[in-house]
């Protein structure tokens, strides 16, 4: 027997502030789209400066996303299966990068891995320098993107029906086998959504990267940094900056629509 659910009508007084809110969100993007010289977009996208920033961004964001999956999935499992006080503390620490100003994240990474940092001197004595390198870009992107994957997967784990896992355990399956053959397939939709959000966030990362990795063309200048550089009168042209901004908006929009469309995605 099917049930039909009707939506409660929206109070009339809400339509005006809702329209203003939508305008606040949409009009700046409309203005950006109107500023784009569409005829010049193909040539701008294949310019050396744009290709360098685009290639570096895609490469580092892909590596950062892979790290987020490798590290975030176990962390989400630990949080979801921990006692409530410990889970609360771990969840708060994990989501901290989401609310911190990005520059604070960059400063924290410098305090850990930079010269005079907690691990920086030991790494320097071993001949390893991380700040202001491409590796620093990956670390900064991982730092800001990791919470998206952990939140997505941990939320799915907490709402997961553990009956299948218990059934597998009762049949003699070891914990790793239960995770690989039962838990992971059930998590696949949320894991996919979290991975997409991670990649999108890493692609758009700016503040922590600027402070921790710098802004060297071909080494650490990602698309957001190329956009920033253009509006400071150096590096790429403003046409390139606008085109790269458009590209970032489109990638983020497609990713968010994809995760929203998935029945068990983070935004569903």
pLDDT of residue 266: 43
| For residue 1, pLDDT beyond 70 | no
99 token code pair: 């609310």
Of 30-44, 162-176, 180-194, 246-260, give the range with the top mean pLDDT.
Answer: 180-194
Mean pLDDT, all residues of the chain: 86
| For residue 161, pLDDT beyond 70 | yes
Q: For residue 160, what are the CA distances in angstroms to 77, 101, 163, 233?
A: 12, 33, 9, 52
**Among the listed ranges 67-71, 129-133, 235-239, 247-251, which one has the minimum average pLDDT value?**
235-239
Rounded CA-CA distance 18/21 in Å is: 5
User: 227: closest CA among 90, 49, 78?
Assistant: 49
Cβ 221 vs Cβ 59: under 8 Å: no
| For residue 126, pLDDT beyond 50 | yes
| Mean pLDDT of the region 68-86 | 93
Phi, psi of 132 (to 5 degrees): 65, 30
Query: For the segment 40-69, what is each residue's pLDDT rounded down to a tens digit?
Result: 888 877 888 888 888 999 999 999 999 999
23 token code pair: 């305008």
pLDDT of residue 268: 36
Q: Which helix (H) or strand (E) holds 190?
A: helix 184-204
Query: What residues contact residue 249 under an 8 Å CB cut-off, 6+ apart?
Result: 29, 32
| For residue 6, pLDDT beyond 80 | no
pLDDT of residue 233: 63
Sign of CA dihedral 78, 79, 84, 88: positive
Its pTM stands at 0.85
Number of Cβ within 10 Å of residue 30's Cβ equals 10
Rounded CA-CA distance 130/70 in Å is: 21
| For residue 134, pLDDT beyond 90 | yes
């Amino acid at each position: 027997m099917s049930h039909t659910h009707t939506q409660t009508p929206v109070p009339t007084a809400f339509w005006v502030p809702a329209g203003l809110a939508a305008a606040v969100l949409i009009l700046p993007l409309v203005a950006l789209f109107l500023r784009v010289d569409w005829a010049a977009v193909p040539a701008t996208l294949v310019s050396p400066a744009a290709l360098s920033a685009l290639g570096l961004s895609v490469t580092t964001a892909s590596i950062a996303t892979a790290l987020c999956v490798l590290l975030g999935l176990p962390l989400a499992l630990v949080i979801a299966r921990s006692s409530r006080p410990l889970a609360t503390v771990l969840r708060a620490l994990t989501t901290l990068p989401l609310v911190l100003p990005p520059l604070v994240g960059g400063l924290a990474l410098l305090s850990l891995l930079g010269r005079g940092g907690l691990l920086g001197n030991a790494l320097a004595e071993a001949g390893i320098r991380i700040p202001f390198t491409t590796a620093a870009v990956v670390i900064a992107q991982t730092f800001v993107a990791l919470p998206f994957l952990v939140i997505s997967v941990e939320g799915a784990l907490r709402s997961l029906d553990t009956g299948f896992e218990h059934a597998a355990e009762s049949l003699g399956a070891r914990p790793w086998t239960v995770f690989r053959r039962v838990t992971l397939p059930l998590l696949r939709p949320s894991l996919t959504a979290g991975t997409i959000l991670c990649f999108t966030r890493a692609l758009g990362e700016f503040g922590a990267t600027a402070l921790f990795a710098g802004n060297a063309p071909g080494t650490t200048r990602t698309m957001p940094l190329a956009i920033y550089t253009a509006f400071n009168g150096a590096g790429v042209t403003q046409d390139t900056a606008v085109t790269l901004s458009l590209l970032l908006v489109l990638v983020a929009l497609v990713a968010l629509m994809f995760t929203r469309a998935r029945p068990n995605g983070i935004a569903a």
